[in-house]
Amino acid sequence: MKESLYKWNVQAEEETSSVLIPELDRLKINQELAPLLWSRGITTPEQIETYFNPTVANFHDPFLLYDMEKSVERIQQAIENGEKILVYGDYDADGITSTTVMKEAIELIGGNVCYYLPNRFTDGYGPNVAVYKRMIEEEEIQLIVTVDNGVSGHEAIQYANTKGVDVIVTDHHELPEELPEAFAIIHPRHPKGNYPFNDLAGVGVAFKVATALLGEIPMESLDLVAIGTIADLVSLTDENRAMVKIGLEIMKQSERIGLNALADVAKVDLTSASEETVGFTLAPRLNAIGRLGDASPGVELLSTFDDEEAANIATFIQQKNTERQTIVKDITAEALEMAREKTDDAILILVNETWHQGVLGIVASRVVQELHKPTIVLNLDKETGLLKGSGRSVQGVDLFQVLSSVKDELESFGGHHMAAGLTLKHEKLEDIKSQVNQKIIDLGMTSLDKEELLIDRVLELDSVNVEFIERLKLLSPFGTDNPSPYFLIKSNKLKNIKQIGADNAHLKCQLSEKETTVDCLAFNRGQEIHEFEFADEIEIVGQLSINEWNGFRKPQVMLTDFAISDWQIFDARGKKKQEINPQTDNVGYLVFEEKVFEKVQSRNPHTYLIKDMNEALIERINSHEEVVIVDCPYDLENAKAIFSQLNVARVFLEANVLQEHYLTGLPTREQFSKLFKLIAAQESIDIRNKIKDISMYLKIDKNLLIFMIQVFFDLGFVTIDDGLMTKVQNPVNKPLPESKIYQDYQHKIEMEKLFLYSDIKEIKQWILQQEEFK
């Protein structure tokens, strides 16, 4: 048995979704999408039209944003007076695109504008007093417009005020209890505002300002809006969905030189751009430069009109992304090793002075994905004694709320319920760690409960085809609050299971049910290959995609989670023992030979000698989640007794033996004859000291020779006294199989044949045949 990582919640198909069918028919869209739309909150014909065919008419009026009119008037005034305007952005993909959109809009109406993206390592996130001071004094900046930051920049904004420089904040991050004293604050969740949609990305807010400033919608900026919105993982519903869907269409025919250059080095075709193109290819590259250094090349790339410059910057960004990938891989391995030792912590706080600060958010995400616990990953600067880093959370833990409880102990922090950045003094680490762990407990938040995974429907394997997947694409762009549909698929057989990718990190197999076979990919599940190899039936939850290669198109399942409801037996015999191990600490070790028992018991207290079976022993064994069969069950009756009552989820078969019987085999009649003749020719033989010499003389394996002597003794052919073997005169003639020792050896051969050399499926079948097995 293998439990799922997530708590599966299969959506019930609402009969009421049938009210959508007439509108779907009108749009010539397959009716089977009705339940999927209903579960996404699309419940009226009007919503269907907007969902499938959004237009600019679905964009909300930018002047509904609080302080918009005031901000536009101030920017226009600055342009009229020839004031120098600074667009102060952020170093991620949302910040880069926000900066570009705002800068281009102000340039279009004749503004004298420059921009600044803070350096993650020297400036930190958000408004920085030193930078503001330098820009005001050296660059003679007279108006500052922030994008994708600013609502927590109290100190820097106050400094600008003292110098007579107005600051217009445009942001979308979590609002602090007290807002800074800026000239204006444009935020979709402004406490005095009433904007219809509150989950715009930073670039979405910048786009709204650009629209209000220009007096028309800057359609040419929507490709950048799509990138920033997808990259920042905001809700892909309402206005965001409309902007992204239209933006992706514009991207497909984009004349933006830098974007095309970036696509070239990334080897993607923008004419078929999708949310996956942005999320997995373009956005990570824009994020990479800010993670490792100065993010300004991103703005230069997206706004340049020079082909050569675009190509050079794109190549530079590609190199940085490759460097970033290597760094992330190495740090993630170290962080996971460290995290697995902190089993009792409600929130994982991982610290290392060598970890690159720029990739800690990615590493935190990888740890959360692997261990399903909220995680904060920090770099220690020994010179300053400061810890800086990023946190990522799980569904049940509001990270912003948890960190807010210790904000007075932190040097700085910001973010939202699922992600945060923070800085703290090293000496306060243990106290803060204790407080946030306790806060999670006090608030009743928990990561111990499984995260819920909403499953759209149970799908038969023969329904997974290219045509069906093409219909599902109509629901795109997919993202937060509009995920690609998840399906639960059952398969009674897995074929061609293999590890793929660098370091065998991923899995590929084929799901099979009756006459249907479908490819399945499981990213970052390579180490779980044995779960798949030893599964008779499996339930898989995943999303569907089309694999296009060499002109062929075939469906595939992208695995998100899986479960095995039946008990499992794993083949950990021989060399496989190094690869296949129990997954929990609740393990019982079953031993059938007394000689083995003492050795195993010294290493593990939960070791049981399977000899005299009783209900109490069975109950103790069944209290474990997993058991290991350490040696070979030579005693058939004991083996039947334990396997008929064993009731655990997972069994690991090691079947170690002290002496091989099956491969050695029974002695031949000729070998018995040789030994008999030798005994007949001698008055007595010193078998205590001469057994090795006798073995060499007769050319019979030493262990086999000892067995043969024991058989002769058992049948009364010889006597043994103080190490001397003497022939019996005129013994009763008996066939060799009458010897109990001979019979036991035969039996051991049969048991070894079953437990050491049979296919694991044959062993499982034998176990299932035992009476009363559950």
Tell me the pLDDT of the chain averaged across its residues.
Answer: 93
Q: Which amino acid is at 336?
A: L
Residue 449 predicted with pLDDT over 80: no
The CB density around residue 80, as the number of other CB atoms within 10 Å, is 10
CATH number of 669-751: 1.10.10
The CB density around residue 234, as the number of other CB atoms within 10 Å, is 25
| Rounded average pLDDT over 137-155 | 96
Q: What is the DSSP letter of 12?
A: P
Instruction: Write down the pLDDT at residue 269.
Output: 94
Residue 354 predicted with pLDDT over 80: yes
Identify which has the larger pLDDT, 567 or 211.
Answer: 211
Instruction: Write down the pLDDT at residue 141.
Output: 98
* pLDDT (tens digit per residue) in 322-333: 999 999 999 999
| Rounded average pLDDT over 379-386 | 93
| Rounded average pLDDT over 360-386 | 92
pLDDT category of residue 451 using cuts at 50, 70 and 90: confident
Extended beta strands in 27-136, E state? 84-88, 112-116
Tell me which of 65-79, 91-105, 210-224, 401-415 is least confident: 401-415
Would strands 538-549 and 650-656 be described as parallel, antiparallel, or unpaired?
Answer: unpaired
Residue 579 predicted with pLDDT over 90: no
pLDDT category of residue 350 using cuts at 50, 70 and 90: very high
Residue 268 predicted with pLDDT over 70: yes
Instruction: Write down the pLDDT at residue 774.
Output: 46
Residue 745 predicted with pLDDT over 60: yes
Instruction: Write down the pLDDT at residue 440.
Output: 86
| Rounded average pLDDT over 76-81 | 98
CATH of 347-442, one of 3.10.310.30, 3.30.1340.10, 3.30.565.10, 3.30.1330.30: 3.10.310.30
* pLDDT (tens digit per residue) in 175-196: 998 999 999 999 999 999 999 9
**Nearest of 331, 243, 249, 324 to residue 291 by alpha carbon:** 324
Instruction: Write down the pLDDT at residue 502.
Output: 80
Report, in angstroms and rounded to the nearest whole number, the Rg of the chain calculated over CA atoms.
35
- Give the domain 453-563 fold: OB fold (Dihydrolipoamide Acetyltransferase, E2P) (2.40.50)
- Give the domain 57-253 fold: inorganic pyrophosphatase (n-terminal core) (3.90.1640)
Q: Which residues contact 358 (CB under 8 A, 6 or more apart)?
A: 120, 121, 290, 291, 292, 293, 324
Q: SS3 breakdown of the chain: % helix, strand, coil, rounded to 5?
A: 45, 20, 35
Instruction: Write down the pLDDT at residue 583.
Output: 83
> Above pLDDT 90, what percent of the chain?
80
Listing DSSP states for 505-543 in one string gives -EEEEEEEETTEEEEEEETT-GGGHHHHHT-SSEEEEEE
Instruction: Write down the pLDDT at residue 235.
Output: 94
Which secondary structure element, helix H or strand E, spans residue 214, and what is its range? Answer: helix 202-214
Instruction: Write down the pLDDT at residue 450.
Output: 77
pLDDT category of residue 445 using cuts at 50, 70 and 90: low
Which secondary structure element, helix H or strand E, spans residue 257, and what is its range? Answer: helix 257-266
> Above pLDDT 70, what percent of the chain?
99
Which secondary structure element, helix H or strand E, spans residue 538, and what is its range? Answer: strand 538-549
Instruction: Write down the pLDDT at residue 772.
Output: 53
pLDDT category of residue 551 using cuts at 50, 70 and 90: confident
Instruction: Write down the pLDDT at residue 448.
Output: 56
Is-same-fold flag (57-253; 453-563)?
A: no
| Rounded average pLDDT over 459-476 | 95
* pLDDT (tens digit per residue) in 101-142: 999 999 999 999 999 999 988 998 899 999 999 999 999 999
Q: Which residues contact 170 (CB under 8 A, 6 or more apart)?
A: 71, 98, 102, 145, 146, 147, 148, 150, 186, 187, 202, 205, 206, 209
* Beta-bridge partner residues of 488: 458, 541
Instruction: Write down the pLDDT at residue 121.
Output: 87
Instruction: Write down the pLDDT at residue 447.
Output: 54
| Rounded average pLDDT over 646-652 | 93
CA distance 387 to 422: 8
Domains of the chain by residue range: 57-253, 347-442, 453-563, 568-657+756-769, 669-751
| Rounded average pLDDT over 147-164 | 97
Residue 771 predicted with pLDDT over 70: no
Report residue 9 as tokens.
Answer: 């919640």
Tell me which of 223-227, 353-357, 580-584 is least confident: 580-584
| Rounded average pLDDT over 691-701 | 95
Instruction: Write down the pLDDT at residue 773.
Output: 47
Report residue 41 as tokens.
Answer: 């909150």
* pLDDT (tens digit per residue) in 654-664: 999 988 899 98
Cβ proximity of 412 and 423 under 8 Å: yes
Residue 700 predicted with pLDDT over 90: yes
Report residue 590 as tokens.
Answer: 């079953």
Instruction: Write down the pLDDT at residue 372.
Output: 85
